[in-house]
Structure 1
Amino acid sequence: MIAQAVKEEMARRQQEAARRMVQRQMALQVASVRERLEWFAPFLVSSATFLFLGYRKTRNSVVLYPLVPMCFALGYQVDFAFGSKTNRIKNIAESIMRHEGHLIHVPEWHYSDPPQAKSRWASPLSRSSLDMPSLGAQVKI
């Protein structure tokens, strides 16, 4: 009875720690986007200024075309940093886990028998004897 209560308390604490870790990771993502925004916004403003000056001088609207993707990028960053993008991403991820679990299937790993990765960069001395012919074998060309 006491052991069961201890197990339940440990499980609850592990779930709480996992929840806090996810919250911390999301907060770090939002913080990194906000920091990136502090650099991107002045870049966009200065670029837009020079592009408008170029337009006034040449009267060619092609000069202003780079503003379109730059404004989309700024809008995306602002939405992520200050909008509800994190909630939308979380809702989409939960929907995928609920309805499309086959897309995120993780294969089982057998830790007693780890997979042997074969690298083309491995030295000939590190290859197994199965990969290389024995010294006594004759190779026909």
Structure 2
Amino acid sequence: MGNPMTKVMDENMVKSQEFMLKTQRMTMERQLMMQNVMRERQMAMQIARARDLFYWWGSFYGVCLLGMTAGALKGKNPRLLAPLVPLTFILGYQYDLSYGTKIARMKDEAESILKDELSLLDLPDGIPTVEAIDKAREALKSK
């Protein structure tokens, strides 16, 4: 027969462990949620930046288009329109990134890399260990 006090202590310890596991799980869920929210905000900022850049490129392209067309017509020299070719590609790329499906295609390619080419993502010297971090930290302190 066990001591009733030991039984109560064991029950309390089990309850305490269950509480700690629940707390750890909730903390992890919150951290994951926070990281996802931050990722979404960063992506939204990148898309907004791409759209802003598209507006600038579009304006620049419009000015160049008008100026080069006027110059080509005035000077009867169609070669003046040649710089519009690369500018058209740049503007098209920026539009696709800002409003098109480029981000979805990039996501699909990233998923393909994660699935089929995971070795490309390996860090040099592997994942840092606690020992390696402590060793580097101690080396910095000794300097």
TM-score (norm 2): 0.73
Q: Which runs of 5+ in 1 are unaligned?
A: 117-127, 129-141
Name the aligned partner's letter for residue 134 of structure 2.
Answer: S
1:63 equivalent among 64, 80, 89 = 80
Query: 1:41: Cα distance to partner?
Result: 1.1
| Runs of at least 5 residues in structure 2 that lack an aligned partner in the other structure | 1-17
Structure with more helix by fraction: 2
Residue 94 of structure 1 corresponds to 111
**1:35 is aligned to 2:52:** yes
For 1:14, the aligned partner's letter is Q
SS at match of 2:134: coil
Point out the structure with max Rg over C-alpha.
2
TM-score (norm 1): 0.74
Residue of structure 1 in register with 2:68 after alignment:
51
Shift in Å at residue 58 of structure 1?
2.9
Instruction: Supply the RMSD in Å over aligned alpha carbons.
Output: 1.9
Aligned pairs, number: 117
Q: Secondary structure at the match of 2:91?
A: helix
Q: Deviations over 1:43-85 (max 9, x none)?
A: 1101011111121123332211111111111111111111222
Instruction: Return the match for 1:18 from 11, 16, 35.
Output: 35
Output aligned runs, 1:115-134, within 5 Å. none
Q: 1: CA distance between counterparts of 2:108 and 2:32?
A: 20
Give the superposition deviation at 1:97. 1.4
Q: Deviations over 1:70-120 (max 9, x none)?
A: 11111111111112222221221122112111111123332122298xxxx
Percent identical: 31
The residue type paired with residue 108 of structure 1 is I
